[in-house]
Amino acid sequence: MTTETTLSRSTDSSQPLVPLLEERWSPRSYDESATMTDAQLDAVLEAARWAPSAMNLQPRRFVAGRRGTETFRKINDNLLGFNAAWAFRASALVVGVLETVSEDGDERSFAQYDLGQSLSALTVQAHAEGLHVHQMAGIDAQGLRAAFDLPERFLPYTVTAIGTVADPTQLDEKAAEREVAPRTRIPLDEVVLVKE
């Protein structure tokens, strides 16, 4: 296995896609010597900020820390299971936070959808910056809420690792195999229920 192998994992799509979508994938093997600049971190967060939002309520917030900072350590300490075995090598970790209700108590029923939209934009911007992203649901939400003293209306929902891909041999054997396995998706005719 070589880094070159892991860097070129394009899709086997049934239709041509723009390169940023064609080449996007979610590695677990990150170069722990690579850093993320202020400009790169600002760019991915700005992309998240400008993502579409239902009724423009923007019920999403972020906690971002680069490796070596106290914020990064707190986020990493609240990763569960397998995620903790590899995410510490990422250049940055970003907590995606749902605003479940407004300050006035109004329910934010599209918060999950909006957060997903913003993380998708973050992912595409990161790829344009020459970085790769891996989104994780295996987190201790209450631990993150406590670590950052977040109000009850804010719910940590995901953590996103951002960094530079490294050779998968630094992972355990099973994870290294997954790192170079062919990318797959359910066929388009199964995903699209109706099309005219």
pLDDT tens for residues 98-109? 999 999 999 999
pLDDT for 4: 43
Q: Are 157 and 141 in contact (CB under 8 A)?
A: yes
Lowest pLDDT segment from 18-27, 77-86, 122-131: 18-27
Give the C-alpha separation, 7 to 25, whole Å. 9
Cβ contacts of 196 within 8 Å, gap of 6 or more: none
- Compute the distance between CA of residue 185 and CA of residue 170 in angstroms, rounded to an integer: 26
At 31-85, the pLDDT tens digits run 999 999 999 999 999 999 999 999 999 999 999 999 999 999 999 999 999 999 9
pLDDT tens figures, 168-191:
999 888 888 888 888 888 999 899
Looking at residue 2, its pLDDT comes to 39
Amino acid at 64: A
For residues 37 and 95, give the distance between their C-alpha atoms in angstroms, rounded to a whole number. 18
pLDDT band at 154 (very low <50, low <70, confident <90, very high): very high
d(CA 177, CA 168): 8
Helices (H), the chain: 3-7, 19-22, 38-49, 70-77, 111-128, 141-147, 173-180, 188-191
Instruction: Give the whole-number percent of the chain exceeding pLDDT 90.
Output: 76
